[in-house]
Amino acid sequence: MALANKAINLASVGSNFPSSIDKLKNSSTKAQINLRVARNSSVKAVQSSSVESDTGRWVRKRRPQNVDGDFFVDHTCIDCDTCRWMAPQVFTRVGEMSAVYKQPTSSEDRLKALQALLSCPTSSIRTEVPPPDILEAQKTFPIPVDEKKLPGVYHCGYHSEKSYGAASYLIIHPGGNILIDSPRFTEKLAKEIETMGGVRYLFLTHKDDVADHAKWATRFSCDRILHSEDVEICTADVEMKLEGNGPWSLGDDIMLVHAPGHTEGTVCLLYKPLKILFTGDHLMMTESGLSIMEMYNKYSVPKQVDSVQKLIQFDFDWIIPGHGWRIEFKDFQEKNTILEAFVREKYNQYSSSYK
């Protein structure tokens, strides 16, 4: 199965992920969790050294972990994982940063590498020679997530360092388009979105991934939505502040689900017609398995586990997170089996927190 701009299909691909995924596969429910990540064991991990010029300013340097060739990752990489799920045929993780393990050999792989280059929040992906096709790559954003299965849902690209490289998505909706979390502002992307009908709502899943929300709000005169518990000085003027525990609705087909844990005001967006749950930083698939990113928790890990359990009641087949790989479940039953096993594992892990 193709991984770049599509989901990890939990029903059809052999697994190479360890950790919680292996545990879930071996559980009594025998849930089939199937994942594949591009690997290249021949890439040797070498600790990257920082480089400073005589002027005292940091100089970008090609990491030695990259294979020879045009594309490379420099030492400013923040290990956000963007390039590895956008173009897994080209990028992998070596020495706690990304690196090129295989130069693109087809036009499709080259396009995906260029899309990753443009989406990198720190501009850490570079080429030895200025790419003559970069303008054509820019025109591909926003990128359809899956034109057949998820029509009208797009990945915006242009990830922002302000949100540690979080992905932003656009839903084309008859009641007004919805931008989910903020990409890095660029007029090129704004013009493309404008041709698609602009933005009616900018839904912010939580306070970490607001990035250039003010610029987008000004550009499209859209209403921003954020839970009041996550409002900070930079978001004090958002137009719609959610109060309480919800759920809330945007029309008949969109539900906003309060999922406190990662932050107190984290909210997921459930797009009912296509059965997609946009989770922000609440729940995701990483190269190590299904994850709630405990190390980055800003409120309460036990409450975050409780919030994952709450998701079991909702009908969705897709998880599209702010970070990490998208997930497609075979059906409602598989989704519940996997989430129940994951929650059970986490409750056992953090059982002392519940005493």
Contact 348, 291 (CB under 8 A): no
DSSP SS3 for 277:
strand
Assigned CATH topology for domain 71-134:
Alpha-Beta Plaits (3.30.70)
Rounded Cα–Cα distance for residues 136 and 118 (Å): 12
pLDDT digits (tens, 9 = 90+) for 257-284: 999 999 999 999 999 999 999 999 999 9
Residue 287 has a pLDDT of 77
Question: DSSP per residue over 202-267, as a string?
Answer: EE-SSGGG-TTHHHHHHHHTPEEEEEGGG--GGGTT-SEEE-SS--EESSSSEEEEE--SSSTT-E
Q: What percent of the chain has pLDDT over 70?
A: 82
pLDDT(187) > 50: yes
pTM recorded for the entire structure:
0.85
Which of helix, strand or coil describes residue 26? coil
Q: Which residue ranges make up each domain of the chain? A: 71-134, 142-353
Q: Which CATH class is domain 142-353?
A: alpha beta
| Neighbour tally for 187: CB within 10 Å | 10
Q: How far is CA 224 from CA 11, 160, 196, 201, in A?
A: 36, 18, 19, 6
pLDDT digits (tens, 9 = 90+) for 77-113: 999 999 999 999 999 999 999 999 999 999 999 999 9
| pLDDT over threshold 70, residue 35 | no
- How far CA 277 is from CA of 19, 163, 166, 205, 311, in Å, comes to 23, 20, 16, 11, 9
pLDDT at 193 over 60: yes
Q: Residue 28 — pLDDT band, cuts 50, 70, 90?
A: very low
CA distance 101 to 110: 14
Across 142-148, average pLDDT? 97
